[in-house]
């Protein structure tokens, strides 16, 4: 039995019903290695719309001197700040409309703090009143929120010092933390020092800041260690880790709270030890037990 092999070109023609593709190396080089010829067109490298990040940074510099990428930071790059949204803005500018912002600032300038339903005259001569809830007032008043990293201490030890510095001036609390017998004092002092640096960036007076709230909580994942005991017994020693949170505020909040307390005292009724009624019994000169 003889077997005949058909040529490869005839096999391709019989299977696909068309002539086989044929291209030489010279044609491929002319068409930029494209086997389809004029069907597709290779875009030149000069017409790229996107460039590498390094090329875009290099183009930011002047033609005479090279651009130093290492000098680009978040503090000196205004376009990067606008893109990320880290430009420092007050809560009044973020949350209030332009008209309410003018009324709020005029009210604070007039009274030293914001008073609800207080008539205010703007520069245009128009008079307005603005009423805000207690939650809105807390959000609009200047404040700072601080949080620490993982600290090696316990709730009981930390709470002793945190209650001591609560309500204290920030600079005074930093001094107390440096010389306090508790080790957590130095960690809290470092945390408050970071708050002082951030206050300068936000345009707040760090000397007037006070600690409105300060607390601690468990940081989780406490380290465990075996505690060997007598008679073949063992226990487990837990090494606690905590974190500290603090809220710093300005004297504007103190003035508002003092005024609200005074108004609350004025609204109270007079307290009398005896009821304001006629006596319906006879008074005697001695007590009867």
**Complete DSSP assignment for 109-169:** HHHSS--TT--EE-TTS-EE-----HHHHHHHS-EEEEE---EE--HHHHHHHHHHHTT-B
Cα–Cα dist 94/142, whole Å:
12
- Is there a single domain that holds both residue 152 and residue 236? yes
Same domain (yes/no): 130, 218: no
β-partners of residue 211 are 248
How sure is the predictor about 6, in pLDDT bands with cuts at 50, 70 and 90? low
Residues 114 and 133 in one domain: yes
Tell me, yes or no, whether 21 lies in a domain. Answer: no
- Residue at 195 is within a domain: yes
Give domain status of residue 136, yes or no.
yes
What CATH number has the domain bearing residue 153?
3.90.470.10
- 225 and 210 in one domain? yes
Point out the domain boundary residue: 82, 112, 140.
140
* Same domain (yes/no): 100, 157: no
Structural domains counted in the chain: 2
In a domain, residue 213? The reply is yes
Domain of 136, in residue numbers: 91-140
**Judgement on whether residues 206 and 122 belong to the same structural domain of the protein:** no
- Reported as a pLDDT band with limits 50, 70 and 90, residue 40 is low
Do 149 and 134 have their domain in common? Answer: no
What is the pLDDT at residue 28?
46
pLDDT tens digit string along 98-121? 999 999 999 999 999 999 999 999
8 Å CB contact between 129 and 120: yes
Burial class (CB in 10 A: 0-12, 13-18, 19+), 196: middle
pLDDT per residue as tens digits for the range 123-153: 999 999 999 999 999 999 999 999 999 999 9
* Structural domain contains residue 259: no
Query: Regarding predicted confidence, which is higher, 248 or 37?
Result: 248
With cut-offs at 50, 70 and 90, classify the pLDDT of residue 44. Answer: low
Lowest mean pLDDT: which of 25-34, 228-237, 261-270?
25-34
| Residue 170 pLDDT exceeds 80 | yes
In a domain, 34, yes or no: no
Query: Are 150 and 237 in a shared domain?
Result: yes
206 falls within a domain? yes
Asked if residue 205 and residue 185 are part of one domain, the reply reads yes
Query: Per the domain annotation, does 109 fall within a domain?
Result: yes
- Whether 242 and 154 share a structural domain: yes
What confidence tier does 90 reach under pLDDT thresholds 50, 70, 90?
confident
Residue after which a domain boundary falls, among 73, 105, 140: 140
Same domain flag for 113 and 134: yes
Q: Judge if 107 and 149 occupy the same domain.
A: no
Which whole-number Å values give the CA distances from 26 to 29, 34, 42, 150, in the listed order?
5, 11, 17, 68
């Amino acid at each position: 039995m003889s077997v005949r092999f058909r040529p490869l070109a005839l096999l391709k023609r019989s299977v696909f019903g068309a002539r086989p593709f044929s291209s030489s190396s010279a044609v491929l080089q002319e068409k930029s290695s494209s086997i389809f010829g004029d069907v597709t067109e290779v875009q030149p490298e000069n017409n790229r719309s996107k460039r590498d990040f390094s090329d875009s940074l290099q183009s930011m510099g002047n033609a005479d001197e090279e651009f130093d990428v290492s000098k680009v930071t978040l503090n000196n790059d205004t376009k990067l700040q606008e893109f990320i949204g880290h430009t420092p803005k007050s809560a009044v500018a973020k949350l209030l409309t332009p008209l309410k912002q003018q009324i709020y600032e005029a009210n604070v300038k007039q009274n030293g703090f914001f008073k609800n339903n207080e008539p205010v005259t703007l520069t245009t001569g128009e008079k307005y009143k603005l009423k805000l809830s207690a939650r809105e007032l807390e959000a609009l008043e200047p404040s700072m929120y601080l949080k620490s990293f993982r600290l090696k201490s316990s709730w009981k030890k930390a709470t002793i010092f945190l209650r001591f510095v609560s309500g204290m001036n920030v600079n005074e609390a930093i001094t107390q933390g440096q010389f306090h017998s508790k080790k957590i004092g130095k960690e809290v002092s470092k945390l408050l020092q970071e708050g002082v640096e951030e206050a300068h960036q936000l345009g707040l007076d760090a000397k007037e800041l006070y600690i409105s709230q300060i607390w601690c909580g468990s940081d989780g994942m406490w380290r465990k260690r075996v505690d060997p005991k007598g008679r073949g017994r063992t226990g487990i020693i837990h090494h606690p880790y905590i974190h500290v949170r603090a809220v710093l505020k300005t004297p504007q909040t103190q003035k508002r709270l003092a005024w609200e307390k005074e108004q609350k005292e004025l609204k109270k009724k007079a307290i009398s030890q005896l009821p304001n009624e006629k006596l319906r019994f006879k008074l005697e000169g001695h007590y009867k037990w």
